[in-house]
Amino acid sequence: MTDHTDKNVANNQVVIVLMKSPECDATLDYLAADHPDVKREDLGPYWMVSSDKGEIVIDLKRVGEELGEPLSLGSWLVIMSSFVGRVMTDPMSFRVTSHMTDLEGARSAASAG
């Protein structure tokens, strides 16, 4: 019997890698409280957070609450060393998604016309 599993097929996994720091600890606390389904793995000087549900959203207001002081996107990005997925940001959130947001919108518009 032939194995037809293609390891190059797209999937919904997204990943964020964070350098260990107080901001990282606050992010992990936020994820544990608000998104317990997000997996966390200690990689020595880094933490890897991942989800196979296609999206991780970091609410910087909530991370700031966990940290005990306001946290800007620019300051948080200093500890974010890598990601897997497509990123969308606004001043108070960082979102990594497996969805091709621009292409999905264009495809929907073309289908409707």
Q: Percent of the chain scored above 70 by pLDDT?
A: 80
Q: What is the pLDDT of residue 86?
A: 93
Residue carrying the six token digits 């700031």:
64
Domains of the chain, with CATH numbers? 14-112 (3.90.56.10)
Q: What is the pLDDT of residue 99?
A: 87
Kindly tell me if the per-residue pLDDT of 106 is higher than 50.
no
- Long-range pairs, 61-70, Cβ under 8 A, ≥24: 61/92, 62/30, 62/34, 63/23, 63/26, 63/27, 63/30, 64/26, 65/30, 66/25, 66/26, 66/27, 66/29, 66/30, 66/33, 67/22, 67/23, 67/26
Kindly tell me if the per-residue pLDDT of 63 is higher than 60.
yes
Residue 3: alpha-carbon gap to chain centroid: 32
Mean pLDDT, the chain, rounded, equals 88
Q: Percent of the chain scored above 90 by pLDDT?
A: 76
Kindly tell me if the per-residue pLDDT of 51 is higher than 50.
yes
Kindly tell me if the per-residue pLDDT of 113 is higher than 60.
no
> Which tens digits make up the pLDDT trace of 2-47?
555 566 666 889 999 999 999 999 999 999 999 999 999 999 999 9
Judged on CB neighbours under 10 Å (0-12, 13-18, 19+), 18 is buried
Strand order from edge to edge, sheet including 14-19: 39-42, 46-51, 14-19, 80-84
